Amino acid sequence: MISYRHITKIISVMMAAAVAFCIWLMGLPKEAVETLGGVEVPMEYETGLFDTEKLMHIDIQIDEGDWADMLENAMAEAYYSCDVLVNDQKICNVGIRPKGNTSLSAIAMNPDTDRYSLKLEFDHYVKGQTCLGLDKLILNNSYADATNMKEALVYDMYQYLGADASLYNYAEVSVNGEYIGVYLALEAVEESFLLRNYGTGDGKLYKPESMQMGGGSKVGNFSGKPPGYDEKDDATGKGRPSERGKMPKFEEDMMPAGEDSAETGKARETETTELPGGELPDFSGEMPPGGGEFDFADGEGQKMPDRGKMPGGGHAMGGGNGANLNYTDEELSSYSDIWDSEVTDSGKTDHSRVVTALKNISEGTDLEKYLDVDNILKYMAVHAFSVNLDSLSGNMAHNYYLYEYKGMLNILPWDYNLSFGGMNQGPESSASEVVNDAVDTPFQGTTFFDALLENETYLSRYHEYLRELSQEYVLNGRFEEVYQGIRSRIDTLVETDPTALYSYEEYEAGVEMLYQTVMLRAESVKGQIDGTIPATDEEQMADATELVDASEIDISVMGVMDMGGGERKSARAAKRQ
């Protein structure tokens, strides 16, 4: 019989070997990792940075003039060089830039704040440089979220179900030692994310972005670099504009690139034209020429467009060139919004695999071959629970990543600051529509998920994940634990936050309203999957008597995005558009 002493030695040797193997694996070239067949790679930053029991501390050490220039020219999303102290580790010559689309524009146009979301690229100037293995870190500013908690909560739900999603934590952020606020820190969905989740290096990653309207006209896209941007400055770490006081160039073929227009780092190869006088384009919301005329409103004598389509044969906002993941034909050019937003390098062979998968998915053929079914069902469950209309759930086909490996597609989540009704501030009924949002018709901007929802086996599994969220996560106490834990860590930081977009009183009211909303949402979701509450939009509109009472909920208290034009849509109207 082996003695206890020898057993201890054996275990110690095995643990040491396992650690050595992980370290060796992380240092392998791409080709060697691929031969291991997609082994998930443990990363040091998982616990070193994203232990949610401990706040992350970040000090951005940057030339004061560079910091001021970056804020002044934030819309250019140009990189600047800085050193970053993350907890007790210093990383030198890191790339930093403001990030976002709607949030970036909103902050830029607001004279009272310069609180931008930020992207830290540890490997921007120094190839292969990381922070404990992490290549890129996102710092979100909680735009339109008075709770400072929506995104953290949603990503925690993804972790609870074991879905492929970014790690998260809160960060106390300083610039040159001066506290500037509490931000949500997120693992960027790029190389280190892929290595942590999939191991192999030859899967293809895209961030489809499209806000098309009508027959293909596009609106508003910054070229990604300001006028006079000097490319050679990148080599010195001073990638900043050489001219001041001008608006960035706009593409003649305009299209906003989604919540992170420069996320892919891929410059579009289209001729650009500087607008006269540095004026912004007209974002009045009117239909561009060629798109046909229509009214989104559910007025008398008007018909809502079919799901994913606009009158006149066009596509709904966000669906024109493949971003809504609907299969149209075999032409690769029909899906340009996917290829143009590649994160990893890809070619026609890779694109053909995606189109083949989309075709089979649309026909409900060999779903297990063309979809990572279980992970996508988890994505659907969290996404539906969180009522995120700034996405495939609503009329904008963006804020997600598409991952393809050997012909199999996967959906990866992104951007949840506008979840739980943050896209609308409509009539009183909108609160009920958020709380009772129909779980069996969760995606109105795409038909991509229809084959899963129409399959009894997959629908049942999807419902089980919804049951885990509603019953086990929320009603059985996990949500309470997460909620109280977050408040204990960030309340004081929010109260003393010098750049906060909401007052501390608004934050307190917001998080309390979010708590009530999540509890009622769980009650409604549980009722829908149990069959006591209607689970489709059509059934709910036909009979609303069994819906959960949300009359005490005020969505606006949690923070909302003003859609412009003075008119704000209800949740159901936004979803159906």
Q: Which amino acid appears at position 79 of this protein?
A: Y
Task: Work out the burial of residue 238: count CB atoms within 10 Å of its CB; fewer than 13 is exposed, 13-18 middle, 19 or more buried.
Answer: middle
- The 10 Å Cβ neighbour count of residue 273 is 11
State the pTM of this model.
0.78
Mean pLDDT of 499-508: 98
- Helix (H), strand (E) at residue 272: strand 272-273
Q: What is the pLDDT of residue 560?
A: 83
Tell me the pLDDT band of 319, cut-offs 50, 70 and 90: low
**Residue 204 β-bridge partners:** 404
Give tens-digit pLDDT for 49-75.
999 999 999 999 999 999 999 999 999
Residue 85: exposure state from Cβ atoms within 10 A (0-12, 13-18, ≥19): middle
8-state DSSP, 558: G
Q: Please give the Cα distance from 531 to 526 (Å, whole number).
A: 9
Residue of 212 and 507 predicted with greater confidence = 507
Residue from 430, 444, 443, 440 nearest 466 by CA: 440
Query: Kind and range of the H or E element at 413?
Result: strand 408-413
Give mean pLDDT, residues 550-555.
95
Instruction: Write the burial class of residue 184 (CB in 10 Å: 0-12 exposed, 13-18 middle, 19+ buried).
Output: buried
Among 93, 139, 120, 141, CA closest to 192: 120
Q: Residue 23 has what pLDDT? A: 42
Q: Give the C-alpha distances (Å, rounded to integers) separating 47 from 217, 330, 463, 542.
A: 46, 44, 31, 49
418 neighbors 425 (Cβ within 8 angstroms): no
Is residue 493 predicted with pLDDT exceeding 50?
yes
What tens digit of pLDDT does each residue of 102-118 get?
Answer: 899 999 999 999 999 99
Is 160 in contact with 23 (CB distance < 8 Å)?
A: no
Quote the distance between the C-alpha of residue 528 and its chain's center.
Answer: 26
- Averaged over 514-539, what is the pLDDT? 98
* Arithmetic mean of pLDDT, 278-292: 38
C-alpha R_g of the chain = 24
Q: Beta-carbon neighbour count of residue 231 at 10 Å?
A: 8
